Amino acid sequence: MPLKRTNSDLLFKTAQTLMPGGVNSPVRAFKNVGNNPIFFKSAKGPILTDEDNNQYIDFIGSWGPMILGHSNPLIVEALKKQLELGTSYGAPTSIESGLAELIKSQIPSMEKLRMVNSGTEATMSCIRLARGHTGKNKIIKFTGCYHGHVDSLLVKAGSGVSTFGLPDSPGVPDELAKLTYSCPYNDIESVTKVANEIGEDLAAIIVEPIAGNMGFVPGQSAFLETLRKLCDQNQALLIFDEVMSGFRVALGGAQDLYNIEPDLTALGKVIGGGLPVGAFGGKESVMNQLAPLGPIYQAGTLSGNPLAMSAGIALLSELIKINPFERLESASIFFLSHIKDLLDTKGIPFSHASIGGMFGFFFADKLPVNFDEVTKTDDALFVRFFNLALQNGLYFAPSKYEAGFISTTHSQQILEQTIEKINLTVKEL
| Residues 111 and 13 placed together within one structural domain of the fold | no
Residue-wise pLDDT for 232-248, tens only, equals 999 999 999 999 999 99
What's the rounded Cα separation, in Å, for the pair 246 and 119? Answer: 11
| Residues 378 and 282 placed together within one structural domain of the fold | no
| Residues 300 and 238 placed together within one structural domain of the fold | yes
Residue 1 counted as domain residue? no
Q: Which of 138, 141, 146, 400 is catalytic?
A: 146
| Residues 384 and 420 placed together within one structural domain of the fold | yes
| Residues 153 and 222 placed together within one structural domain of the fold | yes
| Residues 389 and 296 placed together within one structural domain of the fold | no
| Residues 111 and 166 placed together within one structural domain of the fold | yes
Q: Which residue range is the domain that position 143 belongs to?
A: 73-321
What's the rounded Cα separation, in Å, for the pair 177 and 180? Answer: 5
* 112 has catalytic annotation: no
Looking at residue 275, its pLDDT comes to 95
Q: Which of 50, 58, 187, 241 is catalytic?
A: 241
| Residues 171 and 91 placed together within one structural domain of the fold | yes
What's the rounded Cα separation, in Å, for the pair 407 and 358? Answer: 9
* 151 has catalytic annotation: no
Q: Which of 141, 269, 400, 421 is catalytic?
A: 269
* 168 has catalytic annotation: no
> In a 3-state reduction of DSSP, which class is residue 76?
helix
Residue 386 counted as domain residue? yes
Percent of the chain scored above 90 by pLDDT?
87
Q: Which of 302, 321, 340 is the last residue of a domain?
A: 321
**Mean pLDDT (the chain, rounded):** 93
| Residues 306 and 416 placed together within one structural domain of the fold | no
Looking at residue 173, its pLDDT comes to 73
Residue-wise pLDDT for 22-70, tens only, equals 999 888 889 889 999 999 999 999 999 999 999 999 999 999 999 999 9
| Residues 172 and 82 placed together within one structural domain of the fold | yes
Residue 328 sits in a domain whose CATH number is 3.90.1150.10
Please give the backbone phi and psi of residue 10, each rounded to the nearest 5 degrees, phi first.
-65, -40
Strand-pair category, 394-395 with 55-58: parallel
| Residues 179 and 278 placed together within one structural domain of the fold | yes
Looking at residue 168, its pLDDT comes to 55
Residue type, 239: I
264 pLDDT more than 90: yes
Total tally of structural domains belonging to the chain: 2
pTM of the model: 0.94
